[in-house]
Chains A and B, each alone.
Chain A
């Protein structure tokens, strides 16, 4: 290891550097802590509170109880899980097929296909022609409109392809000598060796699907098909609280709507917070290997 001579200036720098990084961490985490604490706080205390929230103000799960009384939360959750499950599986399937085919050497048409794929990163028909296409295909207001048009992310395809290219050829060759065809090599040689990149792809596609609201907003009309994020948008941003029509319109129920905001964020973000530590050990390794060579 390199030894760094520590003079005074160097030490001052190290201290400042550490302080700033700690401050940055606080900035990154604070909004989530704020929301978490606010969601379990008691209403009366929350309404008169000003400034930073460093601990929950009392403890009450009232807001969570109220959220789970609303049927839309279950509709949203169900739909989101469906879109994440089917969407991620489809994306992963198509992306790995493409990545395999395009990473093989000596395939004559691989290069033109690759150019065709990469070109779409820099030029697209735009929002409206895409919408009209999906409409002409009769997908509007069907679940498939949220899943199929965004099935492959070109960026992810490139990352996965570069990863596949890094797998030693000798393994493939010995399988081929044993009479294996490409289906077999893909399924039994390449995929088992690519678990880290598959984990990364699962994370990227899964999180992307879970967080998606825009596709759903433009293609879906029927509220029964809405993913959770669209309901969230109504509550958090559009302030359309019609879903939570209260029996009596008084200050207490207004405050309740205020706390529901927080608990609903917690409920919608929890799956990601849970998935994150499980998958994060893989991703730093996986992501950037491919990115620059694209």
Chain B
């Protein structure tokens, strides 16, 4: 009898010993680990989740004097204002097109470079190419934009070349129709080497026996590329593409801010630069936050969609 009741009590105790108690025990047992994690958690709470909470001002008519608590709520007013904005379609078009070109030309570039490097047998040459092509990644954006401004100016080297072929000199950055090309080409220049690292890492993981077997079967280099190398790096490519899709509406706007001019807004002004101008130069905090939030939500939907597509097509996914 006593035994039984004790057992029941024991069972009850386990039941009572729920999540909070478990956490408490774990906090005590790993107290040093939690002490170490504390500043990190605090950092994320303040500087990442703080702004996520702060984004509620997108639904307000926020005034810094009244704060988030005191400002009036306006529902989706800021969003509808943006959708009816004269520049709405221009901003969407510019953002999507620039991003689309970056993916179309910029995404395959490092893959091609990695495959080219993979065909090089001379290790020293390979390493030299790698070292040299990584370098632009470490040069500051301001300096790179300085190069771009300099090289595309009237007296710049690109105009020297244009003139040699009988063209006329003009300041290329003032031409709206050239902005995307300048942006994409310089972006590839800056990222192609560094971007290839991840694919080179994936290439080294391919089992060398596969190549040996293929060679015995008489497969040439092209066939090896098509049937071993490409399928071997496919999962990496898809993961990178999923991640890239999650940033489809976020073009590196620091570079746009550095390079655009009112005369090229027509093609260069993207959502994030508009947010920057509205928020930090014109102080429409709520309005620009709403646009930023809209942008974030679209990004997230693309990420979820790309992840779903990756799952379906190649069974490769992030979560």
Chain A residues close to B by CB (< 8 Å): 2, 4-5, 10, 13-14, 17-18, 20-21, 24-25, 27-29, 31-32, 34-35, 50-52, 94, 97-98, 100-102, 104, 106-109, 113, 116-117, 120, 122-133, 135, 148-149, 151-152, 157, 181-183, 186, 207, 210-211, 213-214, 218, 229, 232-233, 236-237, 261, 265, 268-269, 272, 276, 280, 284, 287-288, 291-292
Given contacts A129-B52, A129-B289, A269-B143, contact A94 B23 (CB under 8 A): no
Interface string of B50-63 (1 = CB under 8 A from A): 11111101000000
Given contacts A94-B39, A284-B130, contact A272 B51 (CB under 8 A): no
Neighbour of B161 across the interface among A28, A51, A149, CB < 8 A: A51
User: Which one of B9-17, B90-98, B115-123, B262-270 contacts A?
Assistant: B115-123
The reply to whether B129 and A211 form a contact with Cβ atoms under 8 Å apart is no
Q: Inside 8 A of B292's CB, which chain A residues have their CB?
A: 125-129
The reply to whether A268 and B197 form a contact with Cβ atoms under 8 Å apart is no
Given contacts A52-B157, A284-B130, contact A100 B36 (CB under 8 A): yes
Bound-state CA distance A104–B37 (Å) is 11
Neighbour of A233 across the interface among B142, B163, B197, CB < 8 A: B142
CB proximity of A64 to chain B, nearest CB, Å: 17
User: Which one of B27-35, B80-88, B176-184 contacts A?
Assistant: B27-35
The reply to whether A288 and B201 form a contact with Cβ atoms under 8 Å apart is yes
The reply to whether A10 and B221 form a contact with Cβ atoms under 8 Å apart is yes
The reply to whether B300 and A123 form a contact with Cβ atoms under 8 Å apart is yes
Neighbour of B208 across the interface among A2, A32, A125, A130, CB < 8 A: A2
CB proximity of A110 to chain B, nearest CB, Å: 8
Chain B residues close to A by CB (< 8 Å): 22-23, 26-27, 30, 32-34, 36-37, 39-41, 43-44, 46-55, 57, 64, 113, 116-117, 119-121, 125, 128-136, 138-143, 145-147, 149-151, 157, 160-161, 163-164, 189, 192-193, 197-198, 201, 208, 211-212, 215, 220-221, 236, 239, 246, 254, 257-259, 272, 275-276, 279-280, 285, 288-289, 292-293, 295-296, 299-300, 303
The reply to whether A109 and B26 form a contact with Cβ atoms under 8 Å apart is yes
The reply to whether A101 and B36 form a contact with Cβ atoms under 8 Å apart is yes
Q: Inside 8 A of A17's CB, which chain B residues have their CB?
A: 116, 119-120
The reply to whether B44 and A116 form a contact with Cβ atoms under 8 Å apart is yes
Q: Inside 8 A of A128's CB, which chain B residues have their CB?
A: 275, 279-280, 285, 288-289, 292
The reply to whether A182 and B133 form a contact with Cβ atoms under 8 Å apart is no
Q: Inside 8 A of A50's CB, which chain B residues have their CB?
A: 160, 163
Bound-state CA distance A133–B55 (Å) is 10
Bound-state CA distance A28–B189 (Å) is 7
Bound-state CA distance A185–B109 (Å) is 43
Neighbour of A288 across the interface among B130, B149, B197, B299, CB < 8 A: B197
The reply to whether B30 and A104 form a contact with Cβ atoms under 8 Å apart is yes
The interface centre, meaning the residue of A94, A128, A133 with most chain B CB atoms within 10 A of its CB, is: A128
A sample of 11 inter-chain contacts (CB < 8 A) reads A17-B116, A24-B192, A97-B36, A101-B33, A109-B23, A128-B275, A129-B52, A182-B32, A213-B142, A265-B146, A288-B198
The reply to whether B55 and A129 form a contact with Cβ atoms under 8 Å apart is yes
> What are the nearest 4 A-B pairs in CB distance?
A125-B51, A126-B292, A129-B54, A236-B146
Q: Inside 8 A of A51's CB, which chain B residues have their CB?
A: 157, 160-161, 164
CB proximity of A22 to chain B, nearest CB, Å: 8
The reply to whether B48 and A236 form a contact with Cβ atoms under 8 Å apart is no
Bound-state CA distance A128–B55 (Å) is 8
CB proximity of A45 to chain B, nearest CB, Å: 14
